[in-house]
Amino acid sequence: MPLPCPAIYLLPFLPPPLFLTAAALVLTLDAAFVEDLDDSFKDNRKDDIWLVDFYAPWCGHCKKLEPVWNEVGIEIRSSGSPVKVGKMDATSYSSIASEYGVRGYPTIKLLKGDLAYNYRGPRTKDDIIEFANRVAGPLIRPLPSQQMFEHVHKRHRVLFLYVGGESPLKEKYIEVASELIVYTYFFSASEEVLPEYVTLPELPAVAVFKDGTYFVYDEYEDGDLSSWINRERFQGYLNVDGFTLYELGDTGKLVAIAIIDDKNSSAEHTRLKSVIQEVAKDYRDHFHRNFQFGHMDGNDYINSLLMDDLTIPTVVVLNTSNQQYFLPDKRIESTEDLVQFINNILDGTVEAQGGDGFLQRIKRIIYDAKSTVMSVFKSSPLLGCFLFGLPLGVISIMCYGICTVDSFGGVEENETSKKETGDRELTDEGSEEEQEQENKEKSAELSDGEHGQKHIFDKKKD
């Protein structure tokens, strides 16, 4: 494929003014493959197929997606695809965004006819383009020959195939394909197209080809066709990450994961990974309806998910529907140990931890807040000190001021009370002096009275 803009390789050799001009020209050329959409988009869209990025100017994830989105526009345009690539500021045209069910940023949708298909995979160029090509094409792709079947089989790790003519099963198959085309491809073929090693119990039939073999849908054992396809659209063993766990939540399966370090080549890590792989392959008939198997590199994501600190290597079984998880009470040393652990989960003898109850939600809020603070300080200590130190400083000053005012008020009250007490004491002392003076006067009066009485008595005596 020709390079979209060979001038990019000449940029380092240009003088600074020309370098800036050429760089701006390259960005302009890249953006030219992505159309800016406005409120006239809905009326002018007609029957075109559009891959649209609904973004917000302030969104960090949207800014990170922008160069990838320009690459998507370049490659889709150069490949001759009928899909048109655009972007819309969902904050400026919120009514249109709401009409298409946009609730977060960025949101990627493929608009085809009256349908809007959400993209929920990794935000990489190849994954987005593969999604656009799959959804933009026919729901059911016919395979006219065995050579075509072999070619498609090699390209796709998971392949759903309808075999037979018109039937109610085919109608149901088309209905399911219109819903799940965002995840996987759907094909149809006649019985003559199939290789000799494929034998079907009856026609019509739906089969899935994966993991080096195939499995036929049985309505009585597998239940609803949509649920069966949703469960079987993954390989039996996966390299699990956050996106995969999110999608596995729709299957209703428990996810048995070996938490290991891919860079660690010790026997303990490789053995546990091999144990999970063997159980996924050899015990498929026993566990595939209830369990999905895989491994995860590192324990950072799983620790944040479980709000726990798991020591690797270890095994954890997740229930993505209610956020519960199961841990073995002893080390998994062999396939027999893992099979016994899984059987104990099925019969209810292993206690479930976590969940989505009220206390767990409170714990999640505290854990997320703590993780946010720690991540801010870890990535930028100065920013962390400013964000959290400044409010704490202001609060401390306010508390100090309040406490200081109360203290001064208490001191003034004490001084006032002391002063009043002193005044009362002085008043009381004054009263005592007056009383003493009165007592002296009374004593003098009494003495004069006594002298008068004595004088009268003397006269009588004479």
CATH code, 91: 3.40.30.10
Mean pLDDT, the chain cut into blocks of 10 residues (462 residues total): 40 48 44 82 82 92 92 90 91 89 90 88 90 91 93 92 94 93 93 91 93 91 91 90 83 90 86 92 88 89 79 88 87 91 91 80 74 67 66 77 64 55 50 54 50 47 44
Distances (CA, A) of 165 to 190, 205, 206: 8, 10, 12
Could you tell me the two tokens for 261?
Answer: 């370090």
Could you tell me the two tokens for 301?
Answer: 């994501």
Q: Are residues 224 and 328 in the same domain?
A: no
Q: Are residues 228 and 308 in the same domain?
A: no
403 is catalytic: no
Tell me if 312 sits within 8 A of 299, measured CB to CB: yes
Domains contained in the chain, number: 3
Boundary residue ending a domain (170, 205, 233): 233
62 is catalytic: yes
Shortest CA distance to 131 belongs to which of 87, 183, 179? 183
Tell me if 355 sits within 8 A of 321, measured CB to CB: no
Q: Are residues 269 and 320 in the same domain?
A: yes
pLDDT at 423: 53
**Of residues 59, 385, 399, 403, which has the active-site annotation?**
59
- Check residue 26 and give left, alpha or beta (phi > 0: left; psi -120 to 50: alpha): alpha
Helices 60-78 and 125-136 pack at an angle, to 10 degrees, of 60
CA atoms of 150 and 193, how far apart (whole Å): 10
* 6-34 confidence digits (pLDDT tens): 443 344 444 555 444 444 444 444 456 88
CA atoms of 355 and 319, how far apart (whole Å): 9
Q: Is residue 167 part of a domain?
A: yes
Q: Are residues 225 and 242 in the same domain?
A: no
Could you tell me the two tokens for 432?
Answer: 């005592």
Tell me if 284 sits within 8 A of 278, measured CB to CB: no
**Of residues 5, 62, 385, 399, which has the active-site annotation?**
62
What DSSP state is assigned to residue 347?
Answer: T
Q: Is the dihedral of CA 132, 135, 138, 142 positive or negative?
A: positive
Q: Is residue 362 part of a domain?
A: no
In the sheet that holds 49-55, the strands lie side by side as 35-37, 83-89, 49-55, 107-112, 115-118
Boundary residue ending a domain (189, 218, 233): 233
Could you tell me the two tokens for 217?
Answer: 């849908």
| Cis, bond preceding 106 (omega within 30 deg of 0) | yes
Residue labelled with tokens 């003034």: 412
Exposed / middle / buried, residue 307 (Cβ in 10 Å: 0-12, 13-18, 19+):
middle
Tell me if 160 sits within 8 A of 185, measured CB to CB: yes
Q: Is residue 191 part of a domain?
A: yes
pLDDT at 436: 58
- Predicted TM-score (pTM) of the model is 0.69
Q: Is residue 387 part of a domain?
A: no
Boundary residue ending a domain (356, 379, 401): 356
- Structural domain that includes position 303: 237-356
Helix ranges restricted to H, 224-357: 225-232, 242-248, 267-282, 284-287, 300-306, 335-346
> Could you tell me which residues come within 8 angstroms of residue 18 by beta carbon, excluding any fewer than 6 positions away?
none
